Amino acid sequence: LLTALRDSGLELVSVYTGANFIYDEILDDELFKIERAALLAKEFGASRLVVGGGAKRPDGPKSDDFKKVGRGLDMTADIARAHGLESSYHPHLGTISESLDGFHQIMDNCSWFPTKTDHHIPKMISSFHIHESKGLPPDSIHRNPNLV
């Protein structure tokens, strides 16, 4: 891959991995997968680790699911930082973060989302996914000035 990138004049800017932080019994496996993604990102010259999603239970979220996602995102940021990478969160349709309420609850339970601009805080990648779920109105942007 390094040769292909060099020969084509392209740069790998990020590596993505999904994460299911709400299931305590697989948290260690999820963090191991994120650690491996960070190692590969660094090896191939990327500057950013992007984690996305968050499992969604068929019967709706349990009372501590959003806290677990926030905690997992904080652990992801620590892993990224340990490898000299920036980190980002990318929500997806079909995940715990797809609704505006879910998005805000994750923001409220994660140190990634400060009330002021901080260049050292990881970025939240917004996309058409959130728009399609009728989320991310302007007040969400004001709540998190670190949206990309």
Mean pLDDT of the region 16-43: 95
Among 82, 77, 55, which residue's Cα sits nearest to residue 123? 77
Is residue 88 very low, low, confident or very high in pLDDT (cuts 50, 70, 90)? confident
Mean pLDDT of the region 42-70: 91
What six digits make up the tokens of 108? 């409220």
pLDDT at 107: 80
Neighbours of 145 (CB within 10 A): 14
Across the chain, what does the average pLDDT equal?
Answer: 80
Mean pLDDT of the region 26-55: 93
Q: Return the exposure string of 58-87: e unless at least 16 CB atoms fall within 10 Å of the residue's CB, then b.
A: eeebeeebbbbbbbbbebbbebbeebebbb
Find the largest Cα–Cα distance for the chain: 50
Is residue 38 very low, low, confident or very high in pLDDT (cuts 50, 70, 90)? very high
Task: Report H helices in 45-136.
Answer: 65-82, 100-108, 128-132
Decide: helix, strand or coil at residue 30.
helix
DSSP state of 25: G
pLDDT at 141: 52
Q: What is the pTM of this model?
A: 0.79
Question: Would you say 86 and 121 are in contact if contact means Cβ atoms under 8 Å apart?
Answer: no
What is the rounded distance in angstroms from the CA atom of residue 145 to the CA atom of residue 140? Answer: 9
pLDDT at 132: 56
pLDDT at 118: 45
How far is residue 25 from each of residues 20, 21, 37, 55, 64, measured CA to CA in Å?
A: 11, 10, 20, 13, 15
State which amino acid sits at residue 50.
V
Is residue 102 very low, low, confident or very high in pLDDT (cuts 50, 70, 90)? confident
Q: Give me the percent of the chain exceeding a pLDDT of 70.
A: 75
